[in-house]
Amino acid sequence: MTWDDMQPLLHDATIETLQMVGIATLVTLLVGLPLGILLVLTDKGGLLQNRPVNKVVGAIVNVGRSLPFVILLVALIPFTRWVVGTSIGWQAATVPLAVGAIPFYARLVETAVRGVDGGLVEAVQAMGGSTWAVVRKALLPEALPALVSALTTTVIALIGYSAMAGTVGGGGLGNLAITYGYMRFETGFMVVIVIELVLLVTLIQLIGDLLVRRLSHRGAAAGLLARLRRA
């Protein structure tokens, strides 16, 4: 297969991969972020301490993390068909991608938020801040670099998941690798797809690291300015 033959196939498959990963990332962020914060707030000593809720949510997250993605992909076929109307294509693959990534990201969020200095929480509470004020003014700003790093890790994992989804008709680069690289013995095509995936992951990691460094410097500068003002 020549490059002229590969190029349109690679273009379409790349767009499909970016679409499914992008939508799954957005859903993961919208659901996983509050879920991770809820795990912290409802834990022992948390602002909304509620052990039964924490145990239930934690159990759901653990079950979601323990299931291999391929099994989850097959198990969610009825749900996927109900949500998007089909179980084939990149649109269908988006559903199990999001479901699989949400508990993964929620645990990373929990770890990041737990690393926030408790003194900041106490300071906001001492000024009469509500639970929402603590989350908005202390937990999220201080944990932001770690949250961005966690999201970067999640996006990279989603790219790997999307490749696995392609093996069962999920579209994207994974489907292309199976259809042409494996079934048609186009070894050169398989190598090109692998290189593209490596470059895509590397680019995302570089962007994530850059954002984390900038946010960390900004947070350090803001903390220094606050201490100077108090002095």
Q: What is the DSSP string of the chain?
A: --HHHHHHHHHHHHHHHHHHHHHHHHHHHHHHHHHHHHHHHTSTTSTT--HHHHHHHHHHHHHHHHS-HHHHHHHTHHHHHHHHS-SSSHHHHHHHHHHHHHHHHHHHHHHHHHTS-HHHHHHHHHTT--HHHHIIIIIHHHHHHHHHHHHHHHHHHHHHHHHHHHTTT--HHHHHIIIIIITT--HHHHHHHHHHHHHHHHHHHHHHHHHHHHHHHHHHHHHHHHHHHH-
Average pLDDT of span 180-203: 82
- Residues 188/1, Cβ–Cβ less than 8 Å: yes
User: pLDDT confidence of 59, banded at 50, 70, 90?
Assistant: very high
**pLDDT value, residue 4:** 67
Mean pLDDT of 35-62: 89
pLDDT tops 60 at residue 219: no
Are 112 and 146 within 8 A, CB to CB?
A: yes
Asked if residue 220 has pLDDT above 50, the reply is: no
Domains and CATH numbers, the chain: 3-230 (1.10.3720.10)
Token digits for 173? 């680069």
Give the pLDDT score at 151. Answer: 94
Confidence of residue 92 (pLDDT cuts 50, 70, 90): confident
182 vs 226: CA distance, rounded Å: 59
Phi, psi of 85 (to 5 degrees): 85, 0
What interhelical angle do 90-114 and 51-66 show, nearest 10? 130
Q: How confident is the model at residue 136 (pLDDT cuts 50, 70, 90)?
A: confident
pLDDT at 156 over 50: yes
Under 8 Å between Cβ of 39 and 66: no
CB 162 within 8 A of CB 173: yes
Are 10 and 193 in contact by the 8 Å Cβ rule? The answer is yes
Mean pLDDT, range 181-187, rounded to an integer? 70
The average confidence (pLDDT) of the chain is: 83
CA distance 23 to 91: 9
Amino acid at 156: I
